[in-house]
Amino acid sequence: MKTITKFQHKKVLVLGLAKSGVSAASLLHNLGAFVTVNDRKPLSENPEAQNLLEQGIKVICGCHPIELLDEGFEFIVKNPGIPYSNPLVDGAIKKGIPIYTEVELAYLISDAPIIGITGTNGKTTTTTLIHEILTTDQQDALIAGNIGKVASQVVQEAKEDSVVVMELSSFQLMGVDEFCPHIAVWTNLYDAHLDYHGTKEEYAKAKANMIKKQTPEDFLIVNGDQEELIELISPSKAQKIYFSTKKKDEDGAYVENGELYFQGEKIMKVSDIVLPGAHNLENILAAVAAVKLSGVRNESIRKVLTSFSGVKHRTQFVRELHGRKFYNDSKATNTLATKVALSAFCQPTILLAGGLDRGNGFDDLIPYFDHVKALITFGETAPKLIETAKRAGLKIIQHVDTVEQAVPEAFKHSEAGDIILLSPACASWDQFKTFEQRGDIFIDAVHKLD
């Protein structure tokens, strides 16, 4: 960990706790800053804030008082989930107070180079693949960021010969200034989080913060099949490496005649890759480019790609039973994600879908129902999904109350060679606390079948 003086004797407000805020507050305190923590949750219900108080850190809980801006803070470190429309944040912007997220702190103190991964889809799978391959190749790789491990905490464990593989959301990247990964991976760009960013342009601008400080000594790996993205990154000074499933680029990662290549070097047969779907092939190409730039042996790549069956809750292979293959895609909380999941398969598929009703329809799924033989639906959106399935001409449509009931019902309507896919196309909050809980219940139900 680097010793920096940027925050020494400076007044810093840490706004919002959760894991990232706790780590940021403790780190800043250790770097010599005068830290104040402000969290909406009352102190009596806030053990994290109580622990920080015991460290000698000033804590204000229960609300975000606008009067805090009168205390002369020189920096604010903001939880990524707090919107910039928050009155306290908006007031700080008007006062010209720099607002960071904790990934900026992570970069400033990291001894190790960083591989940063962002994009609308595929971030977690690509990040996990890069980490798995580096680790298999006996490199000291640490995984961090939006994937659930707090970056500013992980980098404190890193050494100069380590590498930190960091998943980065647009929320996190809005709050960086000096942040500069040695290798940046941008998987793709679609409309997302417009309720937070307002427009796609602002969303893309936030993502682009990952690459704005890169130099000609750094690398930028980007989706070569997205012209909009290629144009967006054109001002970058980094060495650009493109990946594509559609065209050959001798300087990048690509597929030709059923083989996966990087910069003209054959890596492996695509047919030997376990992870299904064209979208995952893009993630794989991006990951291969990143690890090859990191000096990984092809043997290590092949070892991972012939065994890696997916990140949990993201088109995750669960088991095969009597010729049926079960996949858990509980992370599919919107129709775009479910379309991607359905596109990953050509076999007859029984789709399990439903959840929180956000007011949207599901007719955009109809073109992807050509190989769906049955729909098992549950949750608030069941009536809408049933109508969609009828318009699509599905013959088998079943309504059940729970995911637990959906699994044996799907199995009843399946036969050998079928795919049974949980891809809800809806958020989980009508019946579950999280999509992870929904996916775990699906997995348990699958393993109860015999």
d(CA 415, CA 392): 21
Find out whether 101 is annotated in a ligand binding site: no
Find out whether 124 is annotated in a ligand binding site: yes
Closest CA to 149 of 130, 168, 177: 168
Tokens 């970069």 belong to which residue?
Answer: 107
Residues 220 and 238: beta-carbon distance below 8 Å = yes
Which 3 state secondary structure label does DSSP give 254?
A: strand
The 3-class secondary structure across 187-249, one letter per residue, is CCCCCCCHHHHCCHHHHHHHHHCCCCCCCCCCEEEEECCCHHHHHHCCCCCCEEEEEECCCCC
d(CA 244, CA 342): 21
Amino acid at 10: K
Sign of CA dihedral 288, 186, 191, 312: positive
Q: What letters, b where the CB count within 10 A reaches 16 and e where it falls short, cover 139-163?
A: bebbbbbbbeebbbbbbbebeeebb
- Give the Cβ contact number of residue 353 at 10 Å: 28
Amino acid at 127: T
Which 3 state secondary structure label does DSSP give 338?
A: helix
Local structure of residue 68 (DSSP, 8 states): G
Find out whether 122 is annotated in a ligand binding site: yes
d(CA 311, CA 64): 36
Annotate 151-182 with DSSP letters as a single string.
Answer: HHHHGGG--TT-EEEEE--HHHHTT-SS---S
Find out whether 120 is annotated in a ligand binding site: yes
Q: What are phi and psi of 247, to 5 degrees?
A: -145, 155
d(CA 245, CA 183): 21
Q: Where are the beta strands (DSSP E) in 69-146?
A: 75-78, 99-100, 114-118, 141-145
Find out whether 121 is annotated in a ligand binding site: yes
Q: Are strands 396-399 and 372-377 parallel, antiparallel or unpaired?
A: parallel
Could you list the residues known to form a binding site, using ranges: 119-125
Could you list the residues known to form a binding site for ATP, using ranges: 119-125
